[in-house]
């Protein structure tokens, strides 16, 4: 099953895009989310533009 996702990368500059992803791209954890509506708020915009200390790199556990 595929779904829309906001994908962010950060080489020298932060880049975000809306992409189609497959369930197989998700990590092997049990998480179920049923979303009817979604929006981006001010802090989401800061995170995807790289302006502000909102998003940090994920640390593998």
Tell me the pLDDT tens digit for each residue of 6-56: 887 777 777 788 899 998 888 888 877 788 888 878 888 777 777 777 766
| 32 neighbors 49 (Cβ within 8 angstroms) | no
> b vs e for 20-52, b when ≥16 Cβ sit within 10 Å of the residue's Cβ?
eeeeeeeeeeeeeeeeeeeeeeeeeeebbeeee
Q: pTM for the complete prediction?
A: 0.47
CB contact set of 14 (below 8 Å; sequence gap of 6+): 8, 48, 49, 50
């Amino acid at each position: 099953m595929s779904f829309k996702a906001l994908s962010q990368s950060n080489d020298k500059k932060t880049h975000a895009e809306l992409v189609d992803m497959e369930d197989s791209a998700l990590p092997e954890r049990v998480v179920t989310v049923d979303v009817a509506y979604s929006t981006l708020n001010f802090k989401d915009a800061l995170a995807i533009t790289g302006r502000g200390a909102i998003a940090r790199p994920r640390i593998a556990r």
